[in-house]
């Protein structure tokens, strides 16, 4: 839209410029996830031998990469005030299609493209349902998770698709300097998304929409497009996670998309200070949240704690974090 | 009519910053319909909320049937035989008539709801009003008029001796209105005290026996309706001292038409709204509460659905039809509820001010925002509007109402649209901030913008308008020139022909 816009000059009242002090933005709440991560690392370093080593850090990052990428996608949706419960299912279905294509002799590059495209399209369906048809995100994405999760099992007949071309797994797990490719993907994606969220017009729209959609609409923000994009982007991130996981497992199968992965994703975002109520949170902090979640489950694993107890702990952490968010908003 | 059944004596109530009631007294007799008349903000609703137990008065006495009573809650009001039919229907659309009517008073049998009894009572209560609805009908399948009847039937369940109707006809068709008047007539015959709040004078003359007029929280007059004329009441409503007060202002250079609205309508809300706005002109859209003035603005902006009509806006020198959903691109809007629809409350002044203008702030850095340019622009408009803040990162929720409103104005000034819609731009602001906003409106018009200003304060709309459109019941009923007097405006809005 272009308007011939002469400046409104009549309002000029050149007064002294008010002192512009940086407002008391609570740096504590901004850096809380990072502080928490440092604290967790400090504690673990004291108790676990060889924890505080570069090799271990790289291996934790590699472990975290898929979850962190999904948490980035979830962040975009949470910031708009919505929620995406279908990330694992979309990821699994995309990965399965890509793996089937490779197994049938297809080009691994095209297979990767399929792994990215399928979840993006599924995410676009979520986006359309929410933005265009005013459907409730919770229900739409819950249904999408059921559909994709079910389809994944049905298509694979509960079998993993393994025996993928070596060139795919080798390349995807190769190291650039000391960093495996998935970690590089995480860094690059995280940096780009962080930049867009905090510095771009679109990022500003995303936060505005999540903070108050009515104000945003009146101010001329294309809120429908913003919502559509957020869900589609979440699908794309599911796709990246699918590529990473398929390479790490050297196979693709329905268990990748099991429902409990949603808990990991949302816990990561919440621990990273992304508000479940919209308008607050960054990609970087979601990644930090994912690292903390991975560390917690690693420790529980090492201590031979039952997987189910791990779920209990993770659920409790999520409740505490969301309670803190609600408390912060009430003040 | 020897003894008054209800006496309210010297009722006072102040809210922060405003004394809503300054010692109002009146009496009401059984078998009589008392009309309570006054402009918006005169204190009618506050007075009745005191009687209904919703608002606790600072001073004053309420005497019912010779007894001094304390009414501290709606429950107390009900115990004393006071029933309230609210303007906004408090309905449960997905529930049945019977459920809605008995939601707080279900008859029970061994702890469970006795549905047989409920339905029987429901049917009886409706028959009393001359209706024969199936008690299982869902509320949402009833017309607004029928819903109103259910509301009245609910109010009558407790056999009240005093019943208050607050603007009961605002959503009714003329046939439904006749039916309501019949019901009121019956209540009157049964000896109930009926208090009828309205600002529509023809209704008051039609059904009330006695009228009292409130202005600025005081009773300014009243008497048997037979002895009053329309002019008497209008004069009382606006205060005779201020009649013909003219607001001097510089004459403006009014140019070509920039927006034209034709036949805009939304069924049951606004009908056949047609008008145009010219460059450099401030048009006051005046009407009483519920006349549809806000709805017109919302329909133009595509915030509410419409059932028809064309909006044309001058784009690149030509009048072109614009869909309401696109109108936002050319129109800056100040909504009446600034916290809900105007601001991003948890965000900074900066973010709030640059919200509508981000494309222009990206400069050469598209798709990113040029932060230097953004800070510069925001500071520039903060200075122009003299917004008092500690810094541009300050949260907008911590500002005063006046400064918040200026932030929204600043948002639009940056974008600099051709057309502004301002709905209650000074609501809730202090006197100084009100004057600032009025100055901004004048300056915008002088710089060539076209403005449609809505206000429920007649003085305010008179201080800025070059022309008035007067609304009543969803229609534009009159177009008046800048020279129109307060009396003329009030009379047109109250539906006096």
pLDDT digits (tens, 9 = 90+) for A249-269: 999 999 999 998 999 999 999
Domain that holds residue B303: 257-493
Q: Pairing between strand B210-215 and B33-37?
A: parallel
Q: Looking at CA atoms only, how far is residue B359 from chain A in angstroms?
A: 7
* CA dist., res. A181 & res. A185, Å (int): 6
> Are B293 and B413 in the same domain?
yes
Specify which residues A176 forms β-bridges with: A179
- B482: which 2 tokens? 């800048």
- Which chain B residue's Cα is nearest to A1? B329
> Are B91 and B200 in the same domain?
yes
> Are B427 and B285 in the same domain?
yes
**Residue A303 in 3-state DSSP?**
coil
pLDDT in tens, B185-215: 988 898 899 999 887 788 888 899 999 998 8
> Are B231 and B282 in the same domain?
no
Cα angle B334, B336, B342; round to 5: 50
Question: How many angstroms separate the Cα of B401 from the Cα of each of B237, B289, B337, B405?
Answer: 28, 22, 11, 6
Question: What is the average pLDDT value for chain A, to the nearest integer?
Answer: 89
Q: How confident is the model at residue A79 (pLDDT cuts 50, 70, 90)?
A: very high
B356 close to A (CB below 8 A)? yes
Interface test with B, best of A208, A215, A224, A328 (most B CBs within 10 A): A215
- Let me know if residue B249 belongs to a domain: no
The stretches of B157-229 forming alpha helices (DSSP H) are 174-189, 201-207
Asked whether B52 and B84 are in contact (CB, 8 A), the reply is: yes
- Let me know if residue B270 belongs to a domain: yes
Is the CB of A3 less than 8 angstroms away from the CB of B417? Answer: yes
pLDDT of residue A21: 41
- Return the axis-axis angle of helices A181-199 and A201-211, rounded to nearest 10°: 70
State the average pLDDT over residues A295-311.
Answer: 88
Q: How confident is the model at residue B275 (pLDDT cuts 50, 70, 90)?
A: very high
Write down the ipTM of this complex.
Answer: 0.82
- Let me know if residue B1 belongs to a domain: no
State the average pLDDT over residues B281-305.
Answer: 88
Give the count of alpha carbons within 13 A of A292, CB side only.
Answer: 32
> Are B296 and B414 in the same domain?
yes
- Which chain B residue's Cα is nearest to A218? B328
| Phi, psi (rounded to 5 degrees) for B129 | -90, 0
> Are B49 and B168 in the same domain?
yes
Nearest to B52 by CA among B84, B13, B4, B22: B84
* CA dist., res. A110 & res. A108, Å (int): 5
Q: Looking at CA atoms only, how far is residue B389 from chain A in angstroms?
A: 8
Nearest to A201 by CA among A187, A220, A228: A220
- Let me know if residue B185 belongs to a domain: yes
Number of structural domains, chain B? Answer: 2
> Are B89 and B233 in the same domain?
yes
pLDDT in tens, A10-68: 333 443 334 344 434 456 667 888 999 999 999 988 988 888 899 999 999 999 999 99
Higher pLDDT, A330 or B177: B177
| Phi, psi (rounded to 5 degrees) for B261 | -115, 130
pLDDT in tens, B59-107: 999 999 988 999 888 888 888 999 888 766 666 778 888 888 888 778 8
Q: Looking at CA atoms only, how far is residue A288 from chain B in angstroms?
A: 24
| Phi, psi (rounded to 5 degrees) for A237 | -65, -35
Specify which residues B454 forms β-bridges with: B285, B423
- Final residue of a domain: which of B179, B206, B241? B241
pLDDT of residue B88: 63
> Are B465 and B384 in the same domain?
yes
pLDDT of residue B45: 82
B249 pLDDT above the threshold of 60: no
Of A214-218, A219-223, B389-393, the one with minimum mean pLDDT is: B389-393
Q: Looking at CA atoms only, how far is residue B14 from chain A in angstroms?
A: 28
State the average pLDDT over residues A73-82.
Answer: 96
pLDDT in tens, A110-147: 999 999 999 999 999 999 999 999 999 999 999 999 99
Is the CB of B390 less than 8 angstroms away from the CB of A23? Answer: yes
* pTM, two decimal places: 0.78
- Let me know if residue B420 belongs to a domain: yes
Report how far Cα B448 is from the mean position of its chain's Cα atoms.
30
pLDDT of residue A2: 37
- The dihedral region occupied by A177, where left means phi > 0, alpha psi between -120 and 50, and beta the remainder, is left
Residues 6+ apart with CB under 8 A from A275: A78, A281, A325, A329
Q: How confident is the model at residue B43 (pLDDT cuts 50, 70, 90)?
A: confident
A to B CB pairs, distance under 8 Å: 131
| Phi, psi (rounded to 5 degrees) for B193 | -85, 120
* CA dist., res. B90 & res. B139, Å (int): 11
Residues 159-198 of A with CB under 8 A from B: 195-196
- B124: which 2 tokens? 């009886």
A217 close to B (CB below 8 A)? yes
Chain A residues in contact with B335 (beta carbon < 8 A): 218
> Are B135 and B171 in the same domain?
yes
> Are B237 and B264 in the same domain?
no
Residue A166 burial (CB count, 10 A): 10
> Are B355 and B416 in the same domain?
yes
Chain B residues in contact with A201 (beta carbon < 8 A): 358-359, 361-362, 366-369
Q: How confident is the model at residue A4 (pLDDT cuts 50, 70, 90)?
A: very low
Asked whether B147 and B91 are in contact (CB, 8 A), the reply is: yes
Residues 6+ apart with CB under 8 A from B190: none
- Let me know if residue B311 belongs to a domain: yes
> Are B311 and B347 in the same domain?
yes
Residue B103, domain CATH: 3.40.50.300
Interface test with A, best of B368, B376, B412, B418 (most A CBs within 10 A): B368
Is the CB of A214 less than 8 angstroms away from the CB of B341? Answer: yes
- Let me know if residue B246 belongs to a domain: no
- Let me know if residue B250 belongs to a domain: no
């Amino acid at each position: 839209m272009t308007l011939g816009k002469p400046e409104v000059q009549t309002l000029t009242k050149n007064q002294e410029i008010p002192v512009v002090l940086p407002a008391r933005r609570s740096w504590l709440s901004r850096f809380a996830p990072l502080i928490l991560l440092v604290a967790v690392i400090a504690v673990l370093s004291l108790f676990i031998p060889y924890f505080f080593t570069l090799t271990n850090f790289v291996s934790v990052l590699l472990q975290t990469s898929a979850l962190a990428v999904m948490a980035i996608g979830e962040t975009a949706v949470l910031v708009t005030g919505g929620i995406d419960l279908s990330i694992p299912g979309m990821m699994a279905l995309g990965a399965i299609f890509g793996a089937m294509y490779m197994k049938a002799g297809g080009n691994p590059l095209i297979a990767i493209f399929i792994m990215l495209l399928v979840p993006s399209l599924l995410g676009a369906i979520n986006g359309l349902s929410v933005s265009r048809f005013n459907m409730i995100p919770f229900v739409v994405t819950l249904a999408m998770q059921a559909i994709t999760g079910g389809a994944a099992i049905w298509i694979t007949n509960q079998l993993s698709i393994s025996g993928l071309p070596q060139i795919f797994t080798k390349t995807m797990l190769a190291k650039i300097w000391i960093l495996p490719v998935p970690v590089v993907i995480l860094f690059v994606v995280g940096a780009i998304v962080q930049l867009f969220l905090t510095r771009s017009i679109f990022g500003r729209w995303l936060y505005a929409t999540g903070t108050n959609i009515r104000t945003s609409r009146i101010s001329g923000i294309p809120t429908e497009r913003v919502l559509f994009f957020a869900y589609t982007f979440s699908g794309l991130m599911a796709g990246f996670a699918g590529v990473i996981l398929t390479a790490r497992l050297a196979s693709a199968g329905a268990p990748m998309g099991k429902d409990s992965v949603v808990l990991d994703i949302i816990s990561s975002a919440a621990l990273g200070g992304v508000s479940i109520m919209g308008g607050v949170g960054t990609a970087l902090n979601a990644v930090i949240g994912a690292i903390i979640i991975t560390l917690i489950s690693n420790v529980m694993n090492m201590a031979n704690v039952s997987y189910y107890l791990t779920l209990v702990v993770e659920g409790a952490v999520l409740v505490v974090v969301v309670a803190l968010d609600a408390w912060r908003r009430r003040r | 009519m020897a003894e008054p059944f209800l006496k309210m004596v010297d009722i006072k109530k102040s809210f922060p910053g405003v004394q809503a009631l300054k010692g109002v007294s009146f009496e009401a007799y059984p078998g009589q319909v008392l009309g309570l008349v006054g402009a918006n903000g005169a204190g009618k609703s506050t007075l009745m909320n005191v009687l209904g137990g919703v608002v606790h008065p600072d001073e004053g006495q309420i005497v019912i049937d010779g007894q001094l009573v304390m009414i501290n809650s709606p429950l107390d009001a009900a115990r004393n035989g006071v029933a309230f039919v609210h303007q906004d229907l408090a309905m449960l659309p997905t529930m049945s008539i019977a459920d809605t009517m008995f939601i707080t008073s279900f008859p029970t049998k061994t702890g469970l709801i006795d549905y047989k009894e409920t339905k029987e009572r429901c049917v009886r209560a409706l028959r009393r009003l001359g209706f024969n609805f199936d008690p299982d009908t869902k509320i949402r399948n009833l017309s607004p008029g029928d819903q109103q009847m259910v509301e009245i039937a609910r109010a009558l369940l407790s056999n009240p001796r005093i019943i208050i109707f607050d603007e009961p006809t605002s959503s009714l068709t003329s046939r439904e209105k006749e039916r309501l008047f019949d019901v009121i007539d019956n209540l009157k015959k049964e000896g109930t005290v009926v208090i009828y709040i309205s600002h529509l004078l023809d209704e008051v003359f039609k059904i009330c026996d006695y009228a009292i007029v409130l202005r600025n929280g005081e009773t300014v007059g009243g008497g048997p309706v037979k002895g009053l004329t329309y002019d008497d009441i209008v004069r009382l409503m606006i205060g005779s001292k201020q009649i013909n007060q003219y607001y001097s202002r510089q004459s403006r250079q009014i140019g070509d038409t920039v927006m034209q609205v034709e036949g805009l309508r939304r069924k049951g809300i606004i009908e056949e709204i047609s008008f145009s706005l010219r460059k450099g002109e401030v048009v006051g859209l005046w009407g009483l509460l519920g006349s549809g003035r806000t709805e017109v603005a919302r329909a133009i902006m595509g915030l509410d659905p419409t059932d028809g009509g064309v909006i044309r806006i001058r784009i690149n020198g030509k009048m072109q039809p614009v869909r309401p959903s696109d109108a936002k691109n050319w129109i800056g809007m100040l909504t009446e509820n600034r916290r809900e629809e105007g601001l991003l409350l948890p965000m900074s002044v900066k973010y709030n001010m640059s919200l509508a203008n981000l494309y222009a702030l990206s400069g050469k850095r598209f798709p990113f925002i040029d932060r230097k340019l953004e800070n510069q622009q925001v500071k520039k408009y903060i200075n122009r509007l003299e917004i008092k803040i500690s810094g541009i990162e300050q949260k907008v929720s911590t500002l005063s109402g006046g400064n918040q409103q200026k932030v929204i104005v600043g948002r639009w000034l940056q974008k600099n649209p051709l057309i502004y819609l301002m709905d209650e731009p000074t609501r809730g602001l202090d006197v100084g901030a009100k004057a600032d906003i009025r100055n901004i409106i004048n300056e915008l018009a002088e710089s060539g913008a076209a403005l449609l200003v809505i206000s429920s304060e007649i003085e305010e709309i008179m201080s800025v308008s070059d022309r008035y459109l007067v609304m009543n019941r969803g229609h534009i009923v009159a177009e008046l020139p800048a020279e129109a007097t307060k009396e003329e405006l009030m009379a047109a809005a109250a539906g006096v022909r």
